[in-house]
A and B are shown apart, each in its own frame.
Chain A
Amino acid sequence: GQQLNQSPQSMFIQEGEDVSMNCTSSSIFNTWLWYKQDPGEGPVLLIALYKAGELTSNGRLTAQFGITRKDSFLNISASIPSDVGIYFCAGPDSGNTPLVFGKGTRLSVIA
């Protein structure tokens, strides 16, 4: 099936720094979703994007649906220790099909 490529695979940042991560696919997606997974827990939906070029914020998080519809970006501003976790991008392969997920970006925040 379709695969999503996330980068970077992992990041170590200082508390207070801004973070950027991205997700690309080889084919067009009509929806992009960003999830966060805390250690030992299930992923939680952070932001959903439905239109090319859309920019959506959720507190300190901002995500963008790329114009080409083949990529998406997630930014976290002024990181704090509770931002630690794995961030996944996801989208439906086509139409009404289950979500496909990237392999995740593991974020570590150093206080």
Chain B
Amino acid sequence: DGGITQSPKYLFRKEGQNVTLSCEQNLNHDAMYWYRQDPGQGLRLIYYSQIVNDFQKGDIAEGYSVSREKKESFPLTVTSAQKNPTAFYLCASSTTGGTEAFFGQGTRLTVV
């Protein structure tokens, strides 16, 4: 089945630790995205990549880092510099120039 897979579904980390969220797609999409969702806030763009080995900051990139070494994979690292990391993180992908983005099931990160 073609799709986009995020893992893990739930993640708990201690404050001050970096944590990496996985996102893999087998849709052969060039573009991939990371969004953050907080209650009542909608989806806010963290980073996006339109091609392998290239990525751009979104609206709330501070405290996050990404890499795009393979077309299928776009991992997101939440660093200790992110002041309020507890949130629901969503990964998406689309064709280049395509507007219809397809989402993974999300990772709920809780930092204690």
Complex interface residues of chain A between 56 and 91 (CB less than 8 A to chain B): 88, 90-91
Residue B96 lies at the interface, judged by CB distance under 8 Å to chain A: yes
Given contact pairs A33-B100, A88-B42, A42 touches B48 in the complex (Cβ within 8 A): no
Query: Do B40 and A1 touch across chains, with their CB atoms under 8 A apart?
Result: no
Q: Of B41, B101, B106, B108, which one neighbours A103 at CB under 8 angstroms?
A: B41
Query: Do B96 and A98 touch across chains, with their CB atoms under 8 A apart?
Result: no
Residue A11 lies at the interface, judged by CB distance under 8 Å to chain B: no
Contact with A along B33-45 (1 / 0, CB 8 A): 1010000111101
Which residues does chain B contribute within 8 Å of A103, judged by CB atoms? 40-42
Query: Do A48 and B42 touch across chains, with their CB atoms under 8 A apart?
Result: no
Q: How distant is A96 from chain B, measured CB to nearest CB, in Å? A: 5
Query: Do A40 and B103 touch across chains, with their CB atoms under 8 A apart?
Result: no
Query: Do B100 and A98 touch across chains, with their CB atoms under 8 A apart?
Result: no
Query: Do B41 and A45 touch across chains, with their CB atoms under 8 A apart?
Result: no
Residue B1 lies at the interface, judged by CB distance under 8 Å to chain A: no
Residue B97 lies at the interface, judged by CB distance under 8 Å to chain A: yes
Q: How distant is B3 from chain A, measured CB to nearest CB, in Å? A: 10
Contact with A along B1-19 (1 / 0, CB 8 A): 0000010000000000000
